Amino acid sequence: MSFVLDDVGLTHANGFVALAGIRLSAAQGESIALIGPSGAGKTSLLTAIGTSHLPSSGRMQVLGQALPTAPSARQLKALRSLIGTVHQSAPIALSQRVVTAVLAGRLGQWPLWKALASLAYPQDIAGAREALARVQLEDKLFARCDQLSGGQLQRVGIARVLYQQARLILADEPVSALDPALSLATVQLLVQEAAVRQATLVASLHAVDLALSCFARIVGIRDGRIAFDLPAAQVSQAQLQALYAHADGSAAALPTLGSMGSMGSAAPQLLPAPAAEVITCR
């Protein structure tokens, strides 16, 4: 298994319960989309799987490492070098060159001398260029990151994870700053990358139609708990409406690719059917 979460809970220092009773597992090479309203716990779940936050309760195993035990800093570094994370806002130093930002994907795998040398002179320019070409940014190889748009920075973060060749890819709203065409192409790229390398992919997505069209397995999250875990074809309209319902139980519009915040003022739409024929990913 790629990861197993057994009754995992995550409570922050201020007492806020971010996750409760999470039971979730994935076989190596599986791709899963996480959906749910804002604040449901999708990001918290990704940070737990990625070991950024160790669980407060329950048991967890990630890439063969049992957690929480008391892993050493060296053990955690080795484990995290196998996990690639695509952030909604990529944690990239704006003063550095794009090539350096991409090559940072393998710093945890390189010996110290090579990592330090790469800061002075990029150690694998061809590899960085190839990764950037896959997100349509090869022309920005030597540009400074502060010269890029938010969407371009998001794609640099994706290129970094592609270059890393991680065994487990965690993507937190990876296309929030992209237009619909690029969003679809980017999610397709991540799914295909996972399939080709038998890497596990877990992606939190705002757009329900994008998730249903591109992923075989959908996990709905609400209030820090798993509401359903089903093949995409079995997710019903009633389950989606319940997942996104307002606190008082009234119906809410389901977020779709056309209603993403980066798209301007388009109003959210209700999906016409559970399988969402709006876009085609495969």
Q: What is the CATH number of the domain that holds 121?
A: 3.40.50.300
Give the range of the structural domain holding residue 51, as residue numbers without chain letter: 1-82+201-282
DSSP E strands in the chain: the ranges are 3-11, 17-26, 31-35, 57-62, 65-67, 83-86, 168-172, 200-204, 217-222, 225-231
- Report yes or no on 192 lying in a domain: no
Confidence band, pLDDT 50/70/90 cuts, at residue 265 = very low
Whole-number pLDDT of residue 282: 56
Confidence band, pLDDT 50/70/90 cuts, at residue 148 = very high
- Report yes or no on 270 lying in a domain: yes
Helices (H), 135-227: 150-164, 180-197, 208-214
Phi-psi group of 267: left, alpha or beta (phi > 0 → left; psi -120 to 50 → alpha; rest → beta): beta
Percent with pLDDT over 70 in the chain:
91
- Report yes or no on 193 lying in a domain: no
Over residues 51-92, the pLDDT tens digits come to 998 899 999 999 998 887 767 888 888 899 999 999 888 778
- Report yes or no on 237 lying in a domain: yes
Whole-number pLDDT of residue 273: 34
- Report yes or no on 143 lying in a domain: yes
Task: Report the b/e string of 97-128 with b at 16+ CB within 10 A.
Answer: bbbbbbbbbbebebeeeebeebeeebbbeebb
Q: Which helix (H) or strand (E) holds 49?
A: helix 42-49
Domain count, the chain: 2
Shared-domain flag, residues 58 and 4: yes
Percent with pLDDT over 90 in the chain:
67
